[in-house]
Structure 1
């Protein structure tokens, strides 16, 4: 088995986990965590007034402090953060990807951003109603929908950032395109001119592609609209499904079983998908949409709030089970693993118990999160639990994370608590079984005395 893993599984996992494009996407989205959290928090605080039984008191309290326009600050923060998520992602991905090639990433950010804006429509159909006269409808230049900048265009932004950076980095290595200035020129100016032609060529190539796309392929549709039609919409429907959720959870924990960081390896694949769906939920929540059927179920911090309680494997349930059934034997491990486990950090348990490459823990470590995923998805899909409408840090403690992720709805905390109970129930028999195995070993070691022989 180990030979099979070393020969086939490990090379694939290492290659996937070290893919420069997936790493750039993951690192850029993680680097945006301050933007996404403050934007989500502003939406949450702005919409707490809609919570039944609490909203009236909350609104009166906020009005008494900030006045009748108390929502303005939250809406301004949302506009400056989540409404431009794709733009931030383009800058971040281009920078990280260019750096992976040894480039400083500075010029690559601007070239990629310019390439993205080249592919955004500049004309919109607007209706103007003069003070006196008939309403006029027609095309007007300079009206760009914010849907081309928020999470709706995230997939397009990722693709453009990767393609533009790849073209730019490769052209920058062609010596005939590099402009060399005299030694007396300031270094910053010299670097900018050295990459002048590669940057111009990259933007021209992307712009030409956009024109060809609209003329011959997409029937006049711009890149983002065309991608949403042929790729994002079908993919979104497949992502927001229970089978996809189960598949992601299963693969993450299988990787962990072999000592590989599952979320890091697969994060570049599923994080953009869930981020896009999560921001759709945040936007609908900010607009006051009350129809829960319109919200995505598998979105945003779904796993962090309801499944990865204490980290991958829901190991906070294992810690509680160890406290119940194996307190004396695991005293030091509990002291070491509980504080970080409360904040969703469980490497001390994964490698200290260990769970990694330990067949005793394979079943509960994988089965528990799968059951919790099924329960969570079903509860939200049936309307029993409010959907994820806020971005939370992945280190948010269990139950509290469920409460915050659902916009302060108690149903989120209840679901997280139920899942915690499920994880304890699943781990408990295995903790007891492990205790009996260790007790038999200790008894065997004490009853069997070694005999020494002396040969003369």
Structure 2
């Protein structure tokens, strides 16, 4: 088994985990955490008034302190953060990708941003109602829908950022396109002129591609609209499904069992997809949509709030089981692993027990999270639990994370508590079995010692 893993699985996992494009996507989205967190918090605070039980008193309190327009600040923060999420992603992904090639990334991210804007429609559909007249709807130049900047266009932004950066980096290496200025010119100016022609050529190529796409392929649709039609919508439907959730959770924990960081390896694939679904939920919540069927299920902080309780493998349940059935045997490990485990950091448990490369823990480490994923998905899809509508730090303690991720709904905390109980029940028999195995080993060692002494 280990030979098979070393020969076939490890090389593929390492290659996937070290792919420069996936790393650029992951690192850029993680680097935007301050933007997404404050935007999510603003949406959460603006919408706590709709939470049953605490909503009305909270709303009255905010009005008494800040007045009837108390949601203005939250709305402004949302507009400046989540509404322009794709733009930040384009800058970040291009910068990270260019730096992976040894470039400083500054010119690359500007060229990528310009390339993205080149592919956005210049005419928007607007409705104007003249005073005393009927509403008129039509195209108006210079009006751009914010949907082309928000998470709705995130996939397009990722594609354009990668494509524009790859073209720019390759053209920048062509010596004939480099403009060399005299030695007395400031370095910043000389560097900009050295990449002048590659930058211009990149934007021209992207613009020409967009024109050809509209003329001959997409029947006049711009890139984002065309991608949404042929790829993003079907893919999003597949992502927000129970089979996909089980697949992702199974792969993450399968990689961990052979010593590879599952979330990091798959983060370049899962992060943009779940982030897009999560931002769609945030937008619906910000707009006050009450129909829960319109929300995505496998979105945003779904896994952190309901599955990764204590970290990958839901090891907070394992810690609880060891307190019940193996406290004396694992006294030092519990002392080291419990405090970080409360905050979803479980490397002391993964490598101290150890779980990694230990076949005894293979079943509970994978089975527990899968059962929790199924429970969470079905609970939200059946309307028993409010969907995830807020972004939370991955270090948010269990149960509290479920409460905050669902916008303060107690159902989120209850689901997290139920999942924690599931994890405990799954791990407990294996903790007991491990204790019996350790006891047999100790007894065998003592018998061997006694025999030698005789």
TM-score class, shorter-chain normalisation, is over 0.9
Distance 1:344 1:223, change over 3 A: same
Deviation at residue 138 of structure 1 after TM alignment: 2.9
CA RMSD across the alignment: 1.1
Alignment match, 2:357: 357
Deviation at residue 54 of structure 1 after TM alignment: 1.0
1:170 partnered with 2:166: no
Q: How does 1:228-307 map to 2 (within 5 A)?
A: 228-307=228-307
Deviation at residue 2 of structure 1 after TM alignment: 1.7
SS in 2 for 1:125: strand
Query: Moved runs in structure 1, 4+ residues, more than 6 A?
Result: 450-453
1:111 partnered with 2:111: yes
Query: 1:3 and 1:166 mapped to 2: Cα distance?
Result: 37
SS in 1 for 2:60: helix
Deviations 1:169-199 (A, max 9, x none): 0000000111111111111111111100000
Alignment match, 1:180: 180
Alignment match, 1:80: 80
Alignment match, 1:434: 434
Alignment match, 1:340: 340
SS in 2 for 1:70: coil
Q: How does 1:5-44 map to 2 (within 5 A)?
A: 5-44=5-44
Deviation at residue 130 of structure 1 after TM alignment: 2.8
Deviations 1:201-257 (A, max 9, x none): 000000000000000000000000000000011001100000000000000000000
Q: How does 1:69-218 map to 2 (within 5 A)?
A: 69-131=69-131, 133=133, 135-218=135-218
Deviations 1:18-65 (A, max 9, x none): 000000000000000110011000000000001112111101111121
Query: 2:306 and 2:276 mapped to 1: Cα distance?
Result: 19
Query: 1:300 and 1:9 mapped to 2: Cα distance?
Result: 28
Distance 1:395 1:128, change over 3 A: same
Query: 1:370 and 1:2 mapped to 2: Cα distance?
Result: 24
Alignment match, 1:372: 372
Deviations 1:54-104 (A, max 9, x none): 111101111121111110000000000000000000000000000000000
Query: 1:183 and 1:449 mapped to 2: Cα distance?
Result: 80
Q: How does 1:403-422 map to 2 (within 5 A)?
A: 403-422=403-422
Alignment match, 1:400: 400
TM-score (structure 2 length as normaliser): 0.98
Query: 1:422 and 1:280 mapped to 2: Cα distance?
Result: 30
Instruction: Say which is worse superposed, 306-315 or 132-141, in terms of deviation.
Output: 132-141
TM-score (structure 1 length as normaliser): 0.98
- What runs of 5+ residues in structure 2 fail to find an aligned partner? none
Query: 1:391 and 1:301 mapped to 2: Cα distance?
Result: 6
